[in-house]
Amino acid sequence: MAELVAGVDEAGRGALVGNVVAAAVILPATFNLPGLTDSKKLSARQREALFDAITAQALAWCAAAASSAEIDAVNIHHATLLAMRRAVEGLVTPPQSVLVDGKFTPELAMPARAIVGGDASEACIAAASIIAKVTRDRQMAELEARFPGYGFAAHKGYGTKAHLAALARLGATPEHRRSYAPVRAVMAGGFLQQE
């Protein structure tokens, strides 16, 4: 029987607002996921279609997060590893080993290996990158509904000109990452929007 390997990736490390989301995916030995690749190389429509196909075919999958407050408390690196650990531990079927996109692995009960560019070379990591990205994009659409005017659904919380202009105009939301310099600058002016 083939070893159960979980691929792990994250979305939202560089954003100024919201969760960092990690996903873990165990694919079956044979799967039919045409177009599967690193989520950054796909359109939103392609990611949504693959999200449905991956969740239908995966032996197990889990998306988990670390909040903006956790990011501020422990820094983005440790928060990302925390989200990754939560995703792996949330799998209904525990993997025998884990492949993680990037340079670092979270502390886990099973062997884990970091692979730089793994989302482009390992199918299970590519699948995880899509689950993480789509999950986080959906969270940003929800944030857009809660805090209109920032354009979260469009820029996904990243520090675009439009987002920085909205921050300057409207102040920081409770979901903004206070440890990030552009948000800190707004907060220094005492500008915090209440929900």
**How far, in Å, CA of 187 to CA of 178, rounded?**
8
Strands 112-115 and 97-101: parallel
Angle between helices 44-57 and 123-146 (to 10 degrees): 120
Q: Using CA atoms, how far apart are residues 107 and 68, in angstroms rounded to an integer? A: 21
Q: Is 142 annotated as a binding residue?
A: no
Query: CA-CA distance, 30 to 17, in Å (whole number)?
Result: 38
Instruction: Write the DSSP string, 73-85.
Output: HH-HHHHHHHHHH
> Which run of H or of E encompasses 115?
strand 112-115
Residues paired with 60 in a beta bridge: 26
Per DSSP, what are the bridge partners of residue 112?
Answer: 98
Pairwise CA distance, residues 114 & 125, whole Å = 11
Is 195 known to sit in a ligand binding site? no
Q: Tell me whether residue 119 is annotated as binding.
A: no
Binding residue positions for a divalent metal cation: 9-10, 101
Binding residue positions: 9-10, 101
